[in-house]
């Protein structure tokens, strides 16, 4: 070590040493810029750039060697043999070209190729050095300290390997700096160590050839060669860099303008990215360059995508150990050109917003928009899955149909906005009951369905207990008051029908249907209860279906008829009007009571054509009477909600020719209360036609003085339930007296229904109720039985033949 130091300190001109090192650095600096360019592009371009890299690197190292030799003072005259001097330059160029070529090779064995390439460059430096030393001629004997020679060769080789290993493909400034520094150390360490091993023993007897290159001319030649090579390499690299920077800047502007993240890779490693990718990964450029893109950020990509057989995937972008985000990735390959290697561009798009939108759309498709519970379609899918599971496990499944009691009254009283608010509130409450065992959906209006699993339960008793517990929870949460406004709270109840699979049905449709039947049974019983399905309900339903079907046929085939019940004046016992009552004698079922088929007609919608038929038939019949008696026709609550009812009445009156004053339409208080505003408008329009309005069954429904005040009523009908109790029931008598007095005070007519006895008649007469109707005065009969009343002239002709019979029939009472 001391010998090397002594040689450098005492036998070298430090200024020339520094100049040699500077020239070496210039050459090596240019060489690595050329090497970086040689690592990309097509094969032909890479070979050209590798050749230029070898020329510049080899020439720079060769120039460094010989300038350093000029700095060396061997004490004796020195000359250089031309052929060997030129050979040393060729060795320097060839070895560095080969070494850089090996290091630039791509493939799975990058590290070995770079180490081998560095080794070739390091050994080439030694080969060049000792060939150049072999060209030196002095009058003396040259010998070597072989241990130092071996050490010098090893240092050159080691630092050469480290240089190209750390430089990689010289993509970044850091890689280039490490490569330049270590290669410079390799050249300097090898040269000056080897010079320390040189021993020159002067011997004048040693002949020196005449054809030698003097140190003066060598200095000029080396300077020229070094300057030319470095200049050529520098200018070429500079022009190429400017051209690539221009293209790169244009591509970067284009890339940074893209919303999608873009990543450019060569040999799997990142060479460039746009700003979108850096923002997406929260990274800096130096943190991503030269990273293995797929391994680092997309480790879950399938092999087909990695090899290029698949160009699109949706996967997860790994941002950290526990953090990922969904992305879609598009892969595009760009073949090598004069500027770049084979390049793969990856376009990445953040899918979080799309997934969120798809999730929201899926939620909207599966859930009810008002209550946020499941909708009908999704519930049916869940039910189908549950039935399959029940078949596999043998554990029954329960379905409940839930319907709110009197919800229509809430809508009518406070408006549909309040109704929607109530549904939202109830949906929130029911949603809190949803578990793995309980599924709740809104299937329309105020109708809800519940799917109940009985996990880890067996036995009918345990299942029934569980069902009742859940049903009671539903009733309890519905029963809590609902805020409507500052002055009002609504309190609802619910009717719940229950059916079990497979006991109560073989498929989803039958289970839902049977649960619905059970729910309607609760409705009929007053609501706010739970009823389990039984086979008797199915039989009743089938009977109702048959009844509805037969009723439709009866309407189409003219099997219906009207009976007429007299309405009399007590003072003269004369019939003043008739009430038209619908009768149906079915060929299969026989005489069917209106109490049975009218509710079914209202449920099925048949009441509209049925009611119109009754009105039309009664009006045409009354118009044909020679005695212009009044005719009363009942309107159902369903008819009273139809806006076109006044037009229908007007049309029938015009077609039949009946005087509107003879027609009296009877409505119930219950029908009026469903939608008071609409009922008021419709009755007012009918009243304008000249038709009379009677309030039927007064006192049995929502009796209110406001009803009498607000609605255009002409007559009150006292319900027969009060008349039947007149004798012996003080309360009934008080109610009847109050109604009669109220009617008189309001200037309304009053008529009592259901009068059957003399005592009832006497009570009514004593309290100034003159109009009566009931079995005492006549049963509902076909109008032919009252021909003598409605056609009195024909009756007079008959009386001329039989005066006694005619007198009795004229009164129309005793003959009933």
pLDDT of 108: 66
Q: Are 504 and 550 members of one domain?
A: no
Give the pLDDT of residue 787. Answer: 92
Query: Is residue 519 located within the same domain as residue 581?
Result: no
pLDDT at 814: 32
Taking residue 527's Cβ as centre, other Cβ atoms within 10 Å add up to: 17
CATH of the domain at 610: 3.20.20.450
Query: Residue 603: inside a domain, yes or no?
Result: yes
Does 43 fall in a domain? yes
Residues 33 and 139 in one domain: yes
Same domain, 275 and 412: no
What phi, psi does 731 have (nearest 5°)?
-65, -45
One domain, residues 319 and 423 = no
- Residue finishing a domain among 178, 212, 240: 240
Computed on alpha carbons and rounded to an integer, the radius of gyration of the chain in Å comes to 55
What integer pLDDT is reported at residue 799 of this predicted model?
Answer: 47
> Assign residue 728 a region: left if phi > 0, alpha if psi is -120 to 50, beta otherwise?
left
Is 245 domain-assigned? no
- DSSP string for residues in 259-279: SSEEEEEETTEEEEE-HHHHH
Concerning whether 753 is annotated as a catalytic residue, the answer is: yes
- Tell me, yes or no, whether 198 and 266 share the same domain: no
247 located within any domain:
no
Question: Looking at residue 217, what is its pLDDT?
Answer: 62
Does residue 805 sit within a domain?
no
**694 close to 667: Cβ distance less than 8 angstroms:** yes
Of the candidates 653, 638, 558, 630, the residue with the CA atom closest to the CA atom of residue 602: 638
**Separation between Cα atoms, residue 159 and residue 338, nearest integer Å:** 32
Residues 6+ apart with CB under 8 A from 601: 548, 551, 607, 610, 636
User: Pairing state of beta strands 749-752 and 771-772?
Assistant: parallel
Instruction: Give the domain-ending residue among 500, 533, 566.
Output: 533
Tell whether 27 and 52 lie within a shared domain.
yes
Cα–Cα distance measured from residue 775 to residue 780, given in angstroms and rounded to the nearest whole number = 8
Same domain as 394, residue 349: no
Is residue 688 located within the same domain as residue 568?
yes
Structure tokens at 801: 């033949």
CB atoms within 10 A of CB 174: 15
Number of residues in the chain: 816
Position 806 in a domain: no
Instruction: Say whether both 607 and 522 belong to one domain.
Output: no
pLDDT of residue 110: 74
CATH number of domain containing 298: 3.30.450.20
- The last residue of a domain, from among 322, 356, 390: 356
Catalytic pick among 753, 759, 761, 801: 753
State whether 434 and 330 are in the same domain.
no
Overall number of domains in the chain: 4
Together in a domain, 74 and 184: yes
Domain for residue 250, yes or no? no
Tell me, yes or no, whether 56 lies in a domain. yes
CATH number for the domain that contains residue 393? 3.30.70.270
Which structural domain, as residue segments, surrounds residue 286? 258-356
Looking at residue 800, what is its pLDDT?
Answer: 43
Low-confidence stretches of the chain (pLDDT beneath 70): 1-11, 13, 40-44, 71, 73, 106-108, 206-258, 336-341, 673-674, 699-707, 794-816
């Amino acid at each position: 070590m001391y010998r090397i130091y002594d040689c450098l300190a005492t036998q070298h001109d430090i200024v020339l040493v520094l100049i040699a090192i500077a020239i070496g650095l210039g050459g090596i600096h240019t060489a690595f810029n050329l090497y970086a360019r040689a690592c990309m592009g097509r094969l032909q371009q890479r070979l050209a750039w590798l050749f230029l890299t070898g020329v510049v690197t080899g020439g720079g190292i060769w120039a460094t060697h010989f300038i350093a030799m000029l700095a060396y003072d061997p004490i004796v005259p020195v000359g250089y043999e031309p052929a060997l001097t030129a050979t040393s330059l060729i060795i320097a160029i060839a070895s560095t070209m080969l070494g850089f070529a090996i290091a630039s090779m791509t493939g799975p064995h990058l590290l070995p190729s770079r180490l081998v390439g560095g080794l070739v460059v390091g050994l080439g430096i030694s080969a060049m050095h000792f060939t150049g030393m072999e060209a030196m001629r002095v009058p003396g004997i040259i010998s070597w300290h072989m241990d130092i020679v071996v050490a010098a060769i090893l240092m050159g080789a080691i630092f050469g390997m480290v240089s190209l290993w750390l430089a990689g493909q010289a993509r970044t400034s850091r890689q280039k700096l490490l490569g330049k520094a270590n290669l410079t150390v390799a050249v300097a360490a090898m040269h000056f160590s080897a010079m320390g091993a040189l021993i020159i023993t002067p011997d004048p007897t040693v002949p020196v050839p005449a054809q030698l290159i003097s140190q003066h001319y060598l200095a000029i030649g080396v300077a020229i060669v070094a300057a030319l090579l470095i200049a050529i390499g520098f200018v070429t690299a500079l022009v190429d860099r400017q051209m690539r920077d221009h293209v790169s800047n244009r591509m970067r502007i284009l890339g940074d303008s893209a919303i999608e993240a873009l990543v450019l890779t060569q040999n799997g490693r990142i060479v460039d990215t746009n700003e979108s990718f850096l923002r997406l990964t929260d990274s800096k450029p130096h943190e991503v360059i030269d990273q293995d893109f797929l391994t680092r950020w997309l480790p879950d990509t399938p092999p087909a995508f990695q090899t290029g057989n698949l160009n699109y995937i949706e996967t997860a972008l790994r941002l950290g150990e526990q953090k990922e985000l969904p992305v879609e990735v598009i892969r595009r390959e760009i073949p090598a050109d004069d500027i770049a290697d084979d390049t793969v561009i990856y376009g990445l798009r953040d899918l979080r917003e799309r997934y969120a939108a798809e999730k929201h759309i899926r939620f909207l498709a599966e859930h009810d928009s008002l209550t946020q519970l499941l909708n009908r379609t999704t519930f049916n899918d869940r039910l189908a899955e549950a039935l399959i599971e029940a078949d596999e496990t043998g554990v029954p499944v329960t379905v409940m149909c839930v319907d709110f009691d009197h919800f229509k009254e809430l809508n009518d009283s406070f408006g549909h906005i309040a109704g929607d608010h109530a549904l939202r509130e109830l949906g929130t409450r029911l949603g809190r009951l949803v578990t793995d065992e309980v599924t709740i959906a809104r299937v329309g209006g105020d109708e809800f369905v519940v799917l109940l699993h009985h996990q880890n339960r067996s036995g009918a008793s345990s299942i029934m207990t569980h069902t009742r517990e859940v049903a009671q929870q539903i009733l309890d949460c519905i029963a809590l008051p609902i805020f409507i406004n500052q002055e009002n709270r609504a309190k609802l109840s619910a009717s719940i029908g229950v059916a079990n699979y497979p006991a109560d049905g073989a498929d989803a449709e039958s289970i839902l249907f049977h649960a619905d039947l059970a729910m309607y049974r609760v409705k009929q019983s007053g609501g706010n209860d739970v009823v389990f399905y039984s086979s008797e309900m199915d039989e009743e339903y089938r009977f109702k279906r048959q009844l509805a079907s037969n009723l439709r046929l009866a309407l189409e085939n003219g099997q219906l008829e009207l009976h007429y019940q007299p309405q009399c004046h007590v003072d003269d016992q004369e019939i003043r009007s008739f009430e038209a009552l619908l009768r149906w004698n079915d060929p299969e079922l026989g005489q069917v009571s209106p109490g049975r088929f009218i509710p079914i007609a209202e449920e099925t919608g048949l009441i509209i054509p049925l009611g119109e038929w009754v009105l039309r038939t009664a009006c045409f019949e009354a118009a044909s009477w020679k005695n212009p008696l009044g005719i009363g026709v009942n309107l159902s609550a369903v008819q009273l909600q139809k806006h076109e009812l006044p037009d229908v009445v007007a049309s029938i009156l015009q077609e039949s020719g009946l005087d509107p004053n003879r027609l009296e339409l009877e409505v119930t208080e219950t029908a009026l209360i469903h939608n008071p505003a609409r009922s008021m408008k419709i009755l007012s329009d009918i009243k304008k036609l000249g038709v009379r309005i009677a309030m039927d069954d007064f006192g049995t429904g929502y009796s209110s003085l406001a009803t009498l005040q607000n609605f255009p009523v002409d007559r009150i009908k006292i319900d027969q339930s009060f008349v039947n109790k007149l004798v012996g029931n003080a309360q009934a008598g008080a109610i009847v007296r109050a109604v009669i007095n109220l009617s008189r005070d309001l200037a309304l007519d009053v008529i009592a229904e259901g009068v059957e006895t003399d005592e009832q008649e006497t009570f009514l007469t004593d309290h100034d109720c003159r109009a009566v109707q009931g079995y005492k005065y006549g049963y509902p009969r076909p109008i032919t039985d009252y021909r003598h009343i409605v056609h009195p002239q024909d009756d007079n002709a008959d009386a001329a033949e039989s005066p006694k019979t005619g007198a009795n029939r004229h009164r129309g009472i005793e003959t009933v």
